[in-house]
Amino acid sequence: MAVNYSTLVAAQTTVGSIAYWINYGRIDSAGILTEAEAWIYDQLRVPEMRALADIAIAEDDTYVSKPTGFLDPIHLGIPGVGNITQVDVEQFRRMLPLDEDNLLPEGVPTLWADYDDRINFNTKADAAYTAKMAYYKTPTALSVSNETNWLTINHPTLLRRVCLMFAAEARKEFDSMDRAEIKALSMIEEIKRDGDLGMRSSELDFNWEEARY
């Protein structure tokens, strides 16, 4: 049976439902599924979670909001202008070229740091730009309007094990919860290894680019 939202949150009598797996009808299946998805997306970074978004930078901006569903950055740059490199907060703050009035100079942003839940730049934008950010994005939650996704299609066993983990916790069956978590974490490591294999044909940059020329 195909895994989908309606089946997962169905009654205990429905084969493939969370209530059927846990053998208990009075379980908050929708809540369990929400927790399971959040837990999985916190643990995994797979190609299916990669996204590209426009980042509108208005003139005089020193920061902008993160794109929808932001989890982790991959790359940020302004096409035709240059890259905007992420640095850690301490280094970023140390390198800020603030004047005596604690103001940033105008210019093209070249560095950014993640704090205050936003993208902070090392300059005040001297013009309006449209940057592009590649990043890991939280997938759209499963629902009646989004019955399946790559998780239900490619990793239904992982989803089942994590749902069982939270369902067991809800029932205070902590031994069962622990066993389900161990199996889920083991499967996540396998998925990560499979993802690494998908990079076999990639050319990786170890900052050797300049040495080639």
pLDDT for 112 equals 98
Confidence band for 2, pLDDT divided at 50, 70 and 90: confident
Owning domain of residue 70: 50-137
Q: What is the mean pLDDT of the chain?
A: 91
Domain end, chosen from 87, 112, 137, is at 137
Q: Are residues 111 and 146 part of one domain? A: no
User: For 61-65, 129-133, 188-192, which range has the lowest pLDDT when averaged over its residues?
Assistant: 188-192
To the nearest 10 degrees (0 to 180), the angle between helices 156-170 and 29-43 is 120
Asked whether residue 205 carries a pLDDT value surpassing 70, the answer given is no
Report if residue 206 sits inside a domain.
no
Quote helix, strand, coil % in the chain, to nearest 5. 40, 25, 40
Q: What is the mean pLDDT of residues 21-34?
A: 97
Q: Quote the number of domains for the chain.
A: 2
Q: What is the mean pLDDT of residues 81-87?
A: 97
Confidence band for 165, pLDDT divided at 50, 70 and 90: very high
pTM of the model: 0.85
Domain end, chosen from 87, 107, 137, is at 137
- What is the percentage of the chain residues whose pLDDT exceeds 70? 91
The DSSP letter of residue 143 is B
Asked whether residue 146 carries a pLDDT value surpassing 70, the answer given is yes
Asked whether residue 16 carries a pLDDT value surpassing 50, the answer given is yes
Report if residue 165 sits inside a domain.
yes
Contact 72, 135 (CB under 8 A): yes
